Amino acid sequence: MGLVKHGQRLAKAEPIGYQLLPTNFSEVAKAMGIEAYRIENKSDFDNLDINEILRKPGPCLLDVVIDRNEVPPMGLRMKVLGTVL
């Protein structure tokens, strides 16, 4: 969704189809019986026992919260789309 948002902004296109309501995906996963963790800051990540998570069978979701205004590295994508940055 971020690529769509920032691509539209950089290309001066109409800003549509990129908004997503705030969602705690870790809670959604847990409701389906899937092990999940929400990562909101570095200490949340540091407190994970990655080796223990990897030893368990089945899926595990890491819901990593990022800054929605941080522009991802997308220069190549814009070049392929024919947009000059």
Where do the structural domains in the chain lie, given as residue ranges?
A: 2-80
Confidence category of residue 57, pLDDT binned at 50, 70, 90: very high
pLDDT, one tens digit per residue, over 68-77 is: 777 667 666 6
Reported pTM: 0.65
Which of 12-21, 48-57, 60-69 shows the lowest per-residue confidence on average (mean pLDDT)? 12-21
User: Helix H segments across 1-85?
Assistant: 2-10, 25-31, 42-46, 50-55, 75-80
CB 9 within 8 A of CB 15: yes
Taking the CA atoms of residue 62, residue 73, residue 17 and residue 61 in that order, the dihedral angle to the nearest 10 degrees is -10
pLDDT for 4 equals: 73
User: For residue 84, is pLDDT > 60?
Assistant: no
The residues pairing with 64 across neighbouring beta strands, listed in sequence order, are 39
